Chain A
Amino acid sequence: MSHPKQIIQHGHVLRYTLRERLNHWVAAVSYIYLLLTGLAFWSPWMFWIAIVLGGAPVSRMLHPWAGLMFFGSVVYMYKMWASQMRHTEEDRLWWKAVRYYSTNQDDKVPPAGRYNAGQKFLFWGFFWSSLFLLLSGVVLWFPEYVSWNLRFLRYLAVLIHPGAALLTIGLFMIHLYMGLFAERGAFGSVIRGDVTEAFAKRYHPRWYEEIAGGTSSPRK
C-alpha cells in the first residue's frame, strides 16, 4: 500500500485507482438494476417498477444476467480488497466505539486504516450475501430443471434469495447514506478517485500514515 505516488498535488490523496472505481460502478449499476427489478418481484405494490423498466418479462430475463455481472464485480473486489478487509484488534475496538462514530463524535473512535471496521462489515456482508444470492439465484433462474426429488432446493431458494437480498438492502442503504450524506468528500473518491489529505487524516489516519510515512512531508 505504501507508495509516495498516492500523495498527489494540491493536498489530495489517491484513494481509489481507476480499476477500483470502474469495478465499483459496474457493481453499482448492476446492483441498482437488481434491486429495482427484485423489488418489483418482491411485492405487488412495487410491480410497476418492472413495467417502467420495459415490462416484467424483460426484467425476469435480464435480472439473472445482471446478477452474474454483479457477482463478477464482487469476485473482483474480493481479489482486490480481501487482504485489506481482515478483521483486526483495532476493528474490535472500533466496534466498541461505534456509537461515537454514528453520533459524529469521531474523536472518540479508534483510528482506522484504509477501511474502518464498518466498511469491512459492509464488504463481507455483500460478499457472503452475493454468494448466497448466486446459489439460490441459479435455482430460481431455472426452476423447471430442478427435479421433483430435489424440490427442497427450490423451497430453500425462495427464502434464501430474498433473505440475503434484504440484508444487502440494509447494507446498501447505509453505504449510500455514508457515502452521499454523512461523510463529506467520500463520494468524490469513487468518481475522481482522490480525497483531501484532511479527509484521509480524519477518517483513515492509519492509512494516511502508511502512504505518507517515510516520505517528506507532503506538498500542500
Chain B
Amino acid sequence: MSQATLRIQKISGHAGTVPGEDTQREFTVCKLVDTTTCIGCKACEVACMEWNDLPFGETIFDNTYQTMPETRWNYWNLILFNEHEREDGTLMWLMRKNQCMHCADPGCLAACPADGAIVQYTNGIVDFQQANCIGCGYCITGCPFDIPKLNPKTKRVFKCTLCSDRVSEGLEPACIKACPTGCLHFGSKDDMKTLAEGRAKQLREHSNFPSAGVYDPPGVGGTGVIYVLHDITKPELYGGLPADPSIPWTVKLWKGPLKWLGNVAMIGGLIGLFVHYLRYGPKDRDDDDMIAGGRKS
C-alpha cells in the first residue's frame, strides 16, 4: 500500500521499462514461519488486523479452531489448523500461518493488465496498489496460492502487504512482532534460509522428524515467505499448501506466446489488407451501377 521509500523492480500491465530499475542495491526480505513451533494462538492474526486497520469479519463455529475458512479481502493472515494422524495412530496439529507468499515470480503480477496495480519492490515485497486496480480479478487466476481476494463493494483486490509500510521504515511486519513463541522471523532471504535450514536439520536429527525441511518453492522463483515443515514431502497436509506451485501454464501461455502470436496476426492482418487494397483495389471500380446514386444507363 505504501511505497514511501521502497523502489520498484516489477510493475504489472506496464508498457516500457521500469523507472528506477537497478538503481539501488537492496536486500531481499523474507518471513520465516516455523510451523513446528506455532501454537495457534492467532496473535499474528490480531496484530495484522490492528496494524492494517482491518474491520473484524464474521466468524463461523463448527467445533474446530478454524473459525474462518480462508483469508478474506479484509483478513490477510490466517492460521490454518489441520489435525493430522501419524502412522503410529497418534494425533498432531499441523498449524500453518497462511498469507501472501510474496513470490519472486508473482503470478498475480504476470496476469494483471492494469498499469501499476501490482508492483514488486526491490526488496521482493509484492504489493497491490488499489488506486490503480481495475477490479478484473486476473490476479486471482494468476495466483497459485489462492491469496488475492476481491472486495465486492469497491471491486478492488487486497492481500497481505508484508507490512511494506513498516518494512520501508526499518520495522518488521506486525505479525512477526506479535508472535510469542518465536516461530516467526524476519530478515534477509539469505539469513532466513540459513536459519530455516538449521532448524530443519535440528528437527531431522534430534526431534524424530526425519522428513523435516524448508518450503521455498522454486516453481515461483522462491518465495518471500518460507516455511519449516515437519514433513516437507507432504506440504498439502498443511491446509493445501501446493507441493510444486507455479504460475498456471495457461496464464503463461496467454501472457507469452499467445500475446505475441495475436499481435503479429493482428498487425499482419492490417498490413495484408492494406497491401491487398493497393494491389487489387475495389471490385468493379469503374462500374458506378454498383453504388446507389451512381450513373444510370
Complex interface residues of chain B between 261 and 297 (CB less than 8 A to chain A): 262-263, 265-266, 269-270, 273, 276-277, 280-285, 287, 289-292, 294, 296
Q: Complex formed: what's the CA distance from A47 to B285 in Å?
A: 39
Q: Complex formed: what's the CA distance from A103 to B281 in Å?
A: 9
Within the complex, which residue of B115, B133, B266 is in contact with A166, where a contact is CB–CB below 8 Å?
B266
Q: Is B215 an interface residue (CB 8 A)?
A: no
Is the CB–CB distance between B282 and A144 below 8 Å?
Answer: no
Is the CB–CB distance between B15 and A144 below 8 Å?
Answer: no
Residue total for B at the interface (Cβ-Cβ under 8 A): 51
- Provided the pairs A44-B13, A144-B149, A159-B253 are in contact, do residues A154 and B140 lie with their beta carbons within 8 angstroms? yes
Q: Which residues of the other chain, B, contact A181 by a CB distance below 8 angstroms?
A: 277, 282
In the complex, per-residue mask of B181-195: 1 if CB is within 8 Å of any chain A CB, else 0 = 000000000000000
Within the complex, which residue of A50, A59, A104 is in contact with B280, where a contact is CB–CB below 8 Å?
A104
In the complex, per-residue mask of A178-210: 1 if CB is within 8 Å of any chain B CB, else 0 = 000111110010001011111100100000000
- Provided the pairs A143-B138, A154-B140 are in contact, do residues A42 and B152 lie with their beta carbons within 8 angstroms? no
Q: Which residues of the other chain, A, contact B270 by a CB distance below 8 angstroms?
A: 173
Complex interface residues of chain B between 149 and 168 (CB less than 8 A to chain A): 149-150, 152, 155
Q: Complex formed: what's the CA distance from A182 to B274 in Å?
A: 11
Is the CB–CB distance between A42 and B262 below 8 Å?
Answer: yes
Is the CB–CB distance between B292 and A185 below 8 Å?
Answer: yes
Closest chain-B Cβ to A15's Cβ sits at a distance in Å of 11
Residue in A closest to B142 when the chains form the complex, CB atoms: A158
- Provided the pairs A162-B254, A192-B292, A202-B290 are in contact, do residues A182 and B282 lie with their beta carbons within 8 angstroms? yes
Q: Which residues of the other chain, B, contact A56 by a CB distance below 8 angstroms?
A: 113-114, 134
Complex interface residues of chain B between 226 and 285 (CB less than 8 A to chain A): 240, 248-251, 253-254, 258-259, 262-263, 265-266, 269-270, 273, 276-277, 280-285
- Provided the pairs A144-B150, A154-B140 are in contact, do residues A44 and B15 lie with their beta carbons within 8 angstroms? yes
Is the CB–CB distance between A148 and B146 below 8 Å?
Answer: yes
* A50-B134, A155-B251, A184-B282 known, 12 other contacts, Cβ within 8 Å: A42-B262, A44-B115, A102-B276, A140-B136, A166-B262, A173-B269, A174-B273, A177-B276, A181-B282, A184-B291, A188-B292, A199-B290
